Amino acid sequence: MQITFMLNGTSVTLTEPTPTTTLLDWLREERHLTGTKEGCNEGDCGACTVMVTDQTGHAPLNACILFLPQLQGKHITTVEGLSQKDAPLHPVQAEMITHHGSQCGFCTPGFVMSMATAHLNGDTDYDTTLAGNLCRCTGYAPIIRAAIASEEHPVPDHLHHLALKTPEILPERADGAAPQSSDDLAKLYAANPDATLIAGATDVGLWVTKQLREIATPIFLNQCADLHGITQTNTHWRIGAMTTIAEVERTLTPHFPSLGSMLRRYGSTQVRAAATLGGNIANGSPIGDGSPAMIALGATIHLRMENTHRELPLEDFFIAYGKQDRQRGEFVEAITVPKQPYTLHCIKISKRFDQDISAVCACLNLPVHDGTFGQTRLAYGGMAGTPARARHAEAALTSQPATLTTIQSAMQALTHDFTPVSDMRASADYRMKVAQNALLRAFHSINGTATDLHEVTS
Ligand SMILES: Cc1cc2nc3c(=O)[nH]c(=O)nc-3n(C[C@H](O)[C@H](O)[C@H](O)COP(=O)(O)OP(=O)(O)OC[C@H]3O[C@@H](n4cnc5c(N)ncnc54)[C@H](O)[C@@H]3O)c2cc1C
Ligand code: FES
Ligand code: FES
């Protein structure tokens, strides 16, 4: 395997690297670029944030769960490359000093990289852009003041031109572990059905950094160009398996604002820029946020094994805890979502507002026509061993008057759909209570009451 990328303006080619070496370890141990810090080593704290640029733009990513092969063709900027030699500090660095945005300083390089990426992208929503960076001693107010003050300053020229400096993919690069298309992937995976597919690595990264697992045969999907991105017809969106959550959020929020509000709380800016919808669904987590939302929208999953393609309603993909309807050597190609009016209500319940896995994720599609519920689709995460539809509650609503009494009967029916468990995130009783109350909240939202947490707090 050969990997070529740019690091702080200089081209780097690595021949036969260990594929599951993280960028963080490589920067610190091989390059002695120790400005990028290791805090949690699991994507939670942002101390390791670097800026990654490709033709689609600039994104902050967590270097601790980013494997070297995922860098192919990209430009990486670390805190050491933010300002050029003998040039003034980058505006966000200078303003962090002016506004006393740093005390022990451990989190500071990560903050500075998130702030510099936001500055470059003209993104001034700091509650969102900094939600993936934790500071334990300074407090956030001075940091946000520094970010606001930096808006007055222009982006340094060398950062504007980063996208022009991404390396060409070398034509002679031959590597088994990084197929270039879904056709290549289909052949490779059929020949190595026990290989581990790696998409954004926001799950697989932790298998390596936290569980110290060896990934014997990794296959990296990041270069399969035809698995990336969202296309549309008159009736559907087709979301390639490698589409990031950030891109799903950008494309679908105008159509489903409540989905956008929920995805805004999916991990952090860094996690959403790496995590893919295909990986989120394929891992089959009962507490993932992507699957309930897609099930409530009536999505179809498209699978491929060699040259055999098949599709099924997304809810049928999840058989039992840890068991999906996916054969050895079969992979997720895409998710299709029917176009439809905006009647989706997504409610994510977690202990923390930002950057937390859901205790319960309720995605409730509640069309109302002339005062009557149409065909409803209610999908929940965190209530069973898989993401699942609430069929009894759906039956209690569909074709019934859109009244509080109907909602209350659906809330009661929900007790026949699920027997949730107690765990560290929530007790069984709490889960049932908030799952029922999600229906009530959606009902009030339909009737014009502001219930979205962003609306309520702003
Ligand atoms: C800090 C942090 C916060 C998080 N917060 C959330 C959250 O709020 N909500 C949430 O839902 N999740 C959250 N996650 C979990 C994670 O981000 C998601 O599950 C993510 O979408 C996985 O996608 P990925 O591309 O990173 O997958 P990877 O880690 O690359 O892969 C995940 C699994 O899917 C398989 N896989 C990947 N692509 C395919 C494919 N095309 N076909 C078949 N199998 C495939 C892999 O082999 C692996 O088993 C969080 C993770 C972290 C680290
Ligand atoms: S070290 Fe905490 S996110 Fe990477
Ligand atoms: S300055 Fe100490 S953790 Fe942020």
For ligand 1, atom 5: residue with the closest CA? 267
> How confident is the model over 224-246, as pLDDT tens digits?
999 999 999 999 999 999 999 99
> How confident is the model over 166-213, as pLDDT tens digits?
666 544 454 568 999 999 999 999 999 999 999 999 999 999 999 999
Average per-residue pLDDT for the chain: 95
| % of the chain exceeding 90 in pLDDT | 91
Angle between the N-to-C axes of helices 140-150 and 91-98, in degrees from 0 to 180, rounded to the nearest 10: 130
Distance 109 CA to ligand 3 centre (A): 10
In this prediction, residue 176 carries a pLDDT of: 63
Ligand nearest to the CA of 107: 3
**Region 397-415 average pLDDT:** 98
Q: Is the pLDDT of residue 456 over 70?
A: no
Angle at the Cα of 323 (from 43 to 207), degrees rounded to 5?
A: 25
Distance 149 CA to ligand 1 centre (A): 35
Provide the terminal-to-terminal Cα distance of the chain, rounded to the nearest Å: 50
**Region 392-421 average pLDDT:** 98
Burial 276-292 (b: 16+ CB within 10 A, else e): bbbbbbbbbbbbbbbbb
Ligand nearest to the CA of 186: 1
Under 8 Å between Cβ of 224 and 73 = no
Under 8 Å between Cβ of 409 and 396 = yes
> How confident is the model over 298-314, as pLDDT tens digits?
999 999 999 999 999 99
Q: Which of 24, 188, 203, 280 has most ligand 1 atoms within 8 Å of its beta carbon, as the pocket-test mutant? A: 203
Residue 337: phi and psi, rounded to 5, are -125, 125
For ligand 3, atom 2: residue with the closest CA? 104
Q: Which atom of ligand 3 is nearest to the CA of 111?
A: 4
| Domain spans of the chain, in order of start | 1-175, 226-338, 344-457
Q: Is the pLDDT of residue 118 over 90?
A: yes
Q: Is the pLDDT of residue 271 over 70?
A: yes
Q: Sorting pLDDT into bands at 50, 70 and 90, what band is 164?
A: low
Distance 279 CA to ligand 1 centre (A): 4
Ligand 1 site residues, Cβ closer than 6 angstroms: 42-44, 196-204, 221, 241, 266-267, 271, 274-276, 278-280, 282-283, 285, 288-290, 331-332, 357
- DSSP per-residue codes, 53-80: EETTEEEEEEGGG-BGGGGTT-EEE-GG
**pTM reported for the whole predicted model:** 0.96
Question: Using a 6 Å cutoff on CB, does residue 47 contact ligand 2?
Answer: yes
Ligand nearest to the CA of 133: 2
Ligand nearest to the CA of 106: 3
Question: Using a 6 Å cutoff on CB, does residue 239 contact ligand 2?
Answer: no
Q: What is the 3-state secondary structure (H, E, C) of 90-159?
A: CHHHHHHHHCCCCCCCCCHHHHHHHHHHHHHHCCCCHHHHCCCCCCCCCCHHHHHHHHHHHCCCCCCHHH
Q: Which atom of ligand 2 is nearest to the CA of 37?
A: 1
Query: What kind of architecture, by CATH, is found in domain 226-338?
Result: 2-Layer Sandwich (3.30)
**How many angstroms from the chain centroid is the CA of residue 147?**
24
Three-state secondary structure call for residue 176: coil
Distance 237 CA to ligand 3 centre (A): 43
Count of beta carbons in the 10 Å neighbourhood of residue 307: 9
Query: What kind of architecture, by CATH, is found in domain 1-175?
Result: Roll (3.10)
In this prediction, residue 174 carries a pLDDT of: 43
CATH number, domain 344-457, options 3.30.390.50, 1.10.357.10, 3.10.290.10, 3.40.50.2300: 3.30.390.50
Match 């109907």 to its residue by tokens. Answer: 406
Exposed (0-12), middle (13-18) or buried (19+): which is 90, by Cβ within 10 Å?
A: buried
In this prediction, residue 171 carries a pLDDT of: 44
In this prediction, residue 450 carries a pLDDT of: 81
Q: Is the pLDDT of residue 339 over 70?
A: yes
Q: Is the pLDDT of residue 451 over 90?
A: no
In this prediction, residue 168 carries a pLDDT of: 61
Question: Using a 6 Å cutoff on CB, does residue 133 contact ligand 2?
Answer: no
Mean pLDDT lowest among 53-67, 167-181, 268-282, 364-378: 167-181
Q: Which atom of ligand 2 is nearest to the CA of 48?
A: 4
Tokens for 361, please give them. 């994720």
Q: Sorting pLDDT into bands at 50, 70 and 90, what band is 337?
A: very high
Distance 276 CA to ligand 1 centre (A): 6
Question: Using a 6 Å cutoff on CB, does residue 420 contact ligand 2?
Answer: no
Under 8 Å between Cβ of 92 and 49 = no
Distance 433 CA to ligand 1 centre (A): 28
> How confident is the model over 312-335, as pLDDT tens digits?
999 999 999 999 999 999 999 999
Residue 374 makes CB contacts below 8 A (sequence gap 6+) with 367, 368, 398, 399
Tokens for 96, please give them. 């962090």
**How many angstroms from the chain centroid is the CA of residue 161?**
27
Under 8 Å between Cβ of 368 and 374 = yes
Q: Is the pLDDT of residue 43 over 80?
A: yes
Ligand nearest to the CA of 25: 2
Mean pLDDT lowest among 9-13, 83-87, 397-401, 411-415: 83-87
Under 8 Å between Cβ of 334 and 240 = yes
Q: Which atom of ligand 3 is nearest to the CA of 105?
A: 1
Do 344-457 and 1-175 have the same topology in CATH?
no
| % of the chain exceeding 70 in pLDDT | 96
Ligand 3 site residues, Cβ closer than 6 angstroms: 102-108, 135-138
